[in-house]
Amino acid sequence: MARILVVNGPNLNLLGEREEEIYGKVTLAEINRALTRQGEAAGVDVEFYQSNHEGDLIDQIHAARGRFDAIIINPGALTHYSYALYDALRAVNIPVIEVHLSNIYAREDWRKKSVTAPAAVGQIAGFGPLGYSLALTAACQIISQKEGSLR
């Protein structure tokens, strides 16, 4: 069975209570439960990792080598300045989809630049929790195109 790793970076553990007017009321646990169900229906295994620490995120991405077929990542604020995360995503040779709950292009100027997105196949931003689900759909499509292994 194909495996997809969903990675969330700094402060995303506080979803549901953090700046609700921007990020909404849905918690990360609720998003992850919905992704698990979606994965079951699509015949893929979905696993989750969240950390507030750049190095831990990089270690997890390294550990995904040979174990995961796609990575969905919301790098949080690291999106805007972490060349180390960019390098890690490039290094592992696994298709990456970048997700943002908010439309980063409609906010502060410093959020408009993603240094990590060039390591991704594509980016989904501005659709709230739906973005993760769209990313999972895209990941399944990428995997099945590569391997013809999904139903």
Exactly one of 53, 62, 80, 100 is catalytic; name it: 100
Binding mask 5-44 for ligand DQA (x = CB under 6 A): ------x---------------------------------
Residue 74 in the binding site for ligand DQA (CB under 6 A): yes
- Which residues, in sequence order, are CB contacts of 7 under 8 Å at separation 6+? 48, 49, 50, 57, 60, 61, 71, 72, 73, 74, 75
Q: Are the beta carbons of 45 and 4 closer than 8 angstroms?
A: yes
- Binding residue for ligand DQA (CB under 6 A) from 39, 76, 95, 129? 76
Phi then psi dihedrals of residue 5, to 5 deg: -105, 125
Phi then psi dihedrals of residue 93, to 5 deg: 60, 35
CB of 100 to ligand DQA, least distance (A): 4
Residue 72 in the binding site for ligand DQA (CB under 6 A): no
List contacts with ligand DQA (CB under 6 A). Answer: 11, 74, 76-77, 79, 100-102, 104, 111
